[in-house]
Each structure stands twice: as C-alpha cells, then as structure tokens.
Amino acid sequence: MDDDSESLSTLSLAEVMSMPAIAIGPDLSAAELRLLAQEHEIHHFPIVHEGRLVGIVCVSDLEGDAPEHPVMDRAWRHVVTATPPSSADDAARLMRLHGVNSVVVADEEGVWGIVTRDDLLEADPELARLLVDS
C-alpha cells in the first residue's frame, strides 16, 4: 500500500493549530509586522480585508524590505486553507501539494488558527512521511 493512502493521524486541525491566529490588515508595514512577530513569537500572519482572507505573509517574506514597505506587496495571495475538523493528515498533504509550510485554519465564520509543519511534526512525528516528496 502507498504511504499516502494510509491514515497516520487521527488528530484534527482544531487540536493541532496555533490559535488564535493574529490576522493583520493589508496596509500594515513591514516594521509593524516585525514588531507583532517579535511580541507574539510567531512568523505567519493571515491577511484579512473586509472580513475576507486575502493573503498570508511570513516574516521571512519581508527580508530586506524597508520598514515602511506594505506587507501586502509580499503576501502569498493563494492561501492554502482547511477547516477545523480537517485532519492533520489532510494538512500535511496540502502542504506538500502546494509547497507551503503552513495552512490557515478557517471556515465561513472566519480565521481560527494556523498550522505549520513544525506544529504537525510536534503533534505526530509520523506525519513527516506525508510532508516530503517520495
């Protein structure tokens, strides 16, 4: 049987995600984001505008940017999302499929949290099998 077809984890994203997610607006500057990241010790920020998820940015995306540079210019606009009841397996597969290191956990009510590769590996080291290309 193929490794991808085996269910490795019964954890839901609601059990694994970092929360609450700290959503930012599209007009935030690189300097403001760096301060938020330092204050909350996080690196990934969903960008919400008028109640809609419009992007995601990681502090590393802003490397070399001037302090006043708007974060939206560096944001990933194709945000990979999953709902809270989705499984950790689902998130690992989404990360590999889309080549990303985080999944925003959201539903019709809004953004609930973020799950990163590190979150998944800490919760269940067996998920490493789903996070790497075969």
Section 75-98 average pLDDT: 93
Mean pLDDT of 16-31: 90
Q: What is the DSSP string of 46-91?
A: EEEETTEEEEEEEGGGGTT--TT-BGGGT-BSS--EE-TTSBHHHH
CA-to-CA distance for 104 and 46, rounded, in angstroms? 7
- pLDDT bucket at 5, cuts 50 / 70 / 90: very low
Band (9; pLDDT cuts 50, 70, 90)? low
9-131 maps to CATH 3.10.580.10: yes
Q: How many CB atoms lie within 10 A of CB 113?
A: 20
What pTM, to 2 d.p., does this model score?
0.83
pLDDT for residue 129 = 85
The mean per-residue pLDDT over the stretch 86-113 comes to 92
The domain limits of the chain are 9-131
Question: Band of the pLDDT at 133, cuts 50, 70, 90?
Answer: low
pLDDT for 8: 55
pLDDT: which is higher, 19 or 62: 62
Mean pLDDT over the full length of the chain: 88
